[in-house]
Chains A and B, each alone.
Chain A
């Protein structure tokens, strides 16, 4: 019987994405009436245990090397492991490595591949994937006409499934990567990993931005914004007025004559929304605003807003977000 496979790659920490990936694989398997096999290439015990309690079977892939991600060898291991499992659907997460390998794995398995899935329909004859296209301006439903289909998910957007009462059996498979004869194994080698703090992210690349404007009235409130930003993993930005006033560094300026940003979330606090500022955030997926003036132009360009003085909002909002985060991590 074919299987639905979830793949957990080396070097990935246990987080929401792992939960979402296993949860969705479980649901897809259920819809298709198939079994969910988790293929783990991870040395993380937490991940191994979580996989065992959220799947029908775990295949733990081990090599003689320690489980360090290297593109070519990892792909070969996944290919071998999945091919042996008669896959119909193979799901991967949204980490760099999964994105890198998904299409190649699909090709090697003789199937197809789809990237960046936001929803999977597995209740018809064919697997269908909903995904955002044209820079978020449209949504497409994509059908896999050739199976197996390898899909990487925006895993954090998928909800986890409850833990199963009985842990699945864990089988360990060993792969010999040294003398396997595949010359490509050594063709690329990751020789150095550099962990950068979030502070290193450029505004242009930031996934989320909290931005302050003239309405903040001075440099001090930006400290509060920084706290808020830290809680949600966002970068700090500012309007030209705020930069001009010297409240924050000029490099933080967002707008036509400053940085042009494209985050998933742009949270504008005390920014009225001058044309030139709006031109800098045209590519933001979701704009949210907090402003005292309900008539401020920024509200004509945002998805949701809160009409209130930032002074009443930022503190409680930050606390509330801390709460939400801790509950979701439990």
Chain B
């Protein structure tokens, strides 16, 4: 089985809220002293692919669309022993705009040998829209399933388990297929061995420009700007807790209950 996992590099989601700043020009978060990391759901996707490869023969290709530092994400994937790694270098197109990303990934995939299964993280920890898998599937003309947390090979395809609002579903699927992967206790990312981390830096990694996959910056920008961030604000979070007020205990409890309820209602 020939597997492709798409990986995204994002700003460390654990950057403390007090260190979180917004670049008002670019309309994205400032990196500051924070690190760039592999998106966690992408790590789950990679783990799912690795488990699948453990069970049936095949190769895993890792593909990333991102700026130069995103190579690190692929190096980590190589340390976990993916077989091939491709970086399509982002010349500075906004990280928002899943349609741009989907366009690039699809073009890169067309250049590569055919894949049976393409996995992506369900959403990224920065913009978190969860659109890329679906858009990629459409561009490739493949079926797709979201929120998958387990994949196993069966005769003529795969069986997928995915999480739903009410529990879980089992699906059977013919190949090829695109799956977006969510986290569960069955796909906790494994840790690379030190030797593999060291070797990963010597493994071949192909970097493509947009031109090399038959695209140009302008058309990707155009696709990406189908939706556009026009403002971005980090609300000044006051460290102080708001103590519910009220003359009587009942009033305070009522106020408290309503606040709790408002959040619960929105879930």
Binding site for B on A (CB under 8 A): 16, 71-72, 95-97, 99-104, 107-108, 111-116, 128, 131-135, 137-146, 149, 154, 156-157, 184, 186-196, 200, 202, 205, 207-208, 232-234, 264-265, 267, 282-283, 286, 288-290, 294, 299-308, 312-313, 316-317, 320-321, 324-325, 328
Do B243 and A305 touch (CB < 8 A)? yes
Q: How many residues of B contact A (CB 8 A)?
A: 84
Residue of A nearest to B263 (CB): A265
Residues of B within 8 A of A143 (CB): 227-230
Do B145 and A188 touch (CB < 8 A)? yes
- Find A306's partner among B13, B17, B123, B252 (CB 8 Å cutoff): B252
Jot down 5 A-B pairs with beta carbons below 8 A, ordered by A.
A134-B20, A134-B125, A149-B227, A194-B170, A232-B260
Q: Tell me the bound Cα distance from A184 to B163 in angstroms.
A: 22
Residues of A within 8 A of B134 (CB): 100-104, 107, 113
Residues of A within 8 A of B266 (CB): 154, 156-157, 264
Q: Tell me the bound Cα distance from A233 to B170 in angstroms.
A: 25
Do B241 and A302 touch (CB < 8 A)? yes
Residues of B within 8 A of A324 (CB): 257-258, 261
Interface on chain A toward B: helix, strand, loop, or mixed SS? mixed
Do B230 and A135 touch (CB < 8 A)? no
Which of B161-195 touch A at CB < 8 Å? Answer: 162-174, 177, 183, 185
> Does residue B254 face the partner (Cβ distance < 8 Å to A)?
yes
Given contacts A154-B266, A156-B267, A194-B169, are A144 and B227 in contact (CB under 8 A)?
A: yes
Do A114 and B171 touch (CB < 8 A)? no
> Does residue B242 face the partner (Cβ distance < 8 Å to A)?
yes
Do B234 and A317 touch (CB < 8 A)? no
- Find B146's partner among A96, A233, A289, A308 (CB 8 Å cutoff): A96
Binding site for A on B (CB under 8 A): 11, 13-15, 17, 20, 22, 27, 29, 96, 98-99, 123, 125-135, 137-139, 141-147, 160, 162-174, 177, 183, 185, 225-235, 239-244, 249-250, 252-254, 256-261, 263-267
Do A71 and B229 touch (CB < 8 A)? no
Residue of B nearest to A95 (CB): B165
Do B128 and A135 touch (CB < 8 A)? yes
4 pairs of A and B residues whose beta carbons are closest in the complex: A196-B167, A103-B134, A157-B266, A320-B257
Residues of A within 8 A of B254 (CB): 320
Residue of B nearest to A196 (CB): B167
Q: Tell me the bound Cα distance from A140 to B165 in angstroms.
A: 26
Q: Tell me the bound Cα distance from A220 to B231 in angstroms.
A: 50
Residues of B within 8 A of A157 (CB): 265-266
Q: Tell me the bound Cα distance from A157 to B141 in angstroms.
A: 34
Do A208 and B267 touch (CB < 8 A)? yes
Do B138 and A288 touch (CB < 8 A)? no
Given contacts A71-B145, A100-B134, are A264 and B127 in contact (CB under 8 A)?
A: no
Given contacts A107-B138, A317-B256, are A135 and B125 in contact (CB under 8 A)?
A: yes
